[in-house]
Every structure is written in structure tokens, then in C-alpha cells.
A = this chain, B = another copy of it.
């Protein structure tokens, strides 16, 4: 019957309507799995999970309320799922063989798993010379989000004034580099002086400000955008979005990628934006997006981004936390402003 492994996985114990999810909401449990090819169903593969992508949108699937991002809520007792890299252990599908490394957009947040092969997005070929964590950052969810937000929806021109909030986060670090490749002037906001230094030195931002120190956002935007804002990639919502609407140029575009400052609140407690009337006079287009609607462009994106990575034009910073047990703290770190770049959980060695 083949070898049996003990596999730990994260499941939803109770919903977390507000605040940062904790160990009452998410718990680890263990199950026994037979991973050998002859033990798994036809058309399935068994995987050792290598890396898990920790993304802010996961938090919106734990509230018990379908609003905001409107992604299906996890059920109580259901295993959490996430974008992941896995290594094939057993296969009942001819396309995949033992040892293949694969990308799975919605994998169980587990040490091992058995999944339908149709849920695999693609194989990762070691020959590209791109390290595995890049597939979850610049080439994964945040990189794709940055590309849709800046390239597809923002569509800035050379010389455009581009503003990016949460600039030192996983999306912001990539988005800034994409806007620089397009010849824009790029300014970011982030939560510490050290992070401002980082986005300028490592990710090519022209300048940036610490929103905790320059907390009068209107004054800060007046200072950093004397010629107004043409494109804004919003990752935070709330007061920052409101202030941006006081500094937009005619026909500005605002791409709404997510609003990390608002995820831990029920909607009636979120910060209201009072100056939407400015969108009329300045003829602003504001558009929200979810990656699922852009999967048909993923190939274009991946090809473009692989080129940038190989040419050294895009780099990413990955914070790798070791062990599946680190997931809960990793998720919480997204909301604490402690992290920089992409947060990844390394479940097993590649």
C-alpha cells in the first residue's frame, strides 16, 4: 500500500470578522496520507508542498461575510488554500512525473497533499535560472497584481507621475520597478524611514515618504507631487485614497488592487472617502481588479516578467519563514507593517 506520511495542515476553526486572525481562528491538524502513485486516484498527483505564498487577500476569506473582495469564504473545518510551489511525489497523470516542480494557484496549506492534476498551473523548469521564491513574488500573485494594476489598467506614459501605496510590500516593490521601466517618475508611501530608504535603493523609486511620520497626507502629496498624480496604484484605501483624490490630475487613473488598511474592519467601520466628487471634475477613472479575470494574460505577463528578471531590471525581496507552523504569524505580519517584500512560508526543502 506504499508509505504513509503524517501531514499537518491549517484549517479554519472559527471566523474572524475583525482584527488580526489568531490561533482561535486558524488551527493546525494532522492527517495520514498515502502518497505513492498506486495509492492515489486516476488523474491526480501527490505533492510535497515546498513554498506557500502568504497574501493579504487570504484574510478576506476568513471573515464569514461575503463583501469587499467577494472571494468565497472558507468553511469552518475546511483546509485553507493558497498559491504554492510543490514537488511531485506520486502521479496518475502522464504529464507529471516524480520530482517535477509545479505551481498550484489553490493548493491546500499543508505539508503534503493529493490534488487533481487539472489544478496545477504549470511546471517550473530549473533551467530558467530563476530561484523558486521568485515564482511566488515577481512571477506570482503580487507580481501579476502589480502588472495588471500598472501596465494594464494604469497604463502610465513616460514622464507620468505615479504614486504607489504600501510601496515596500510584495506588490509595491514590483509595481515601482514596472513604472520605472515605463519611464515614469515614481513615488511610494511606506511605514518607516528604513523602508523609504529601501524602496529608493533597491527598487528604483525616485522618492518616498514614511506615512507614520508625514501623517498629513495632503501635505506630503503636495510636497512629492508638485505636478499632481497621473496614476495611483492603491493598496491601502481609506485616508490615503481620499488624499490622493485631492491631488489627481485631469484624467488620472486609479487602480484598486486591494485595501490592506481596511481588511480587518467590518465595512461600516471603514474610513469613508468624502471627496469622490473630485472624480467628476478631474474625470478620474477608478477601477478595481481581481487576478482571476486576467488569467488569460498570465502568459504575456510571465514572459515579460521573466525577461525583466533575467535582465536584472526587476528584483524581489522575499521574507522566508521556515516551517508550516509559521503560517499564522506570517499572515499576521502582513498587517503589522513589520514585513518588507514578499512573505513566503517554506514548508519543505525544494
Contact = CB atoms under 8 A, between A and B. Distances in A.
Interface of A: 60, 67-71, 237, 241-242, 246, 251, 256-259, 262-263, 267-290, 293
Given A67-B281, A263-B277, A281-B288, 4 more contacts: A241-B276, A251-B293, A270-B274, A285-B285
A68 B67 CA distance: 29
B293 A288 contact: no
A278 B68 CA distance: 4
B270 A271 contact: no
A272 B272 CA distance: 4
A278 B237 contact: no
A242 B282 CA distance: 20
Contact of A286 (B268, B270, B287): B287
B287 A259 contact: no
A294 to B, nearest CB: 10
Nearest to A257: B280
A222 to B, nearest CB: 14
Given A274-B271, A276-B241, A285 B283 contact: no
A263 B273 CA distance: 16
Contact of A276 (B70, B273, B280): B273
A259 B237 contact: no
A227 to B, nearest CB: 16
Tell me how many chains of this kind the complex includes: 2
A282 B67 CA distance: 9
A335 to B, nearest CB: 15
Contacts of A276: 237, 241, 256, 259, 273
B281 A290 contact: yes
A237 B277 contact: yes
Contacts of A270: 274-275, 277
Given A270-B275, A276-B259, A70 B287 contact: no
Contacts of A257: 280
Contacts of A287: 279, 283-286
A272 to B, nearest CB: 2
Nearest to A246: B67
B273 A279 contact: no
Contacts of A282: 70, 288
Nearest to A285: B287
Given A267-B275, A273-B276, A286-B286, A281 B237 contact: no
B280 A256 contact: yes
A232 to B, nearest CB: 13
Given A286-B286, A287-B286, A71 B281 contact: yes
A289 B280 contact: yes
A80 B288 CA distance: 39
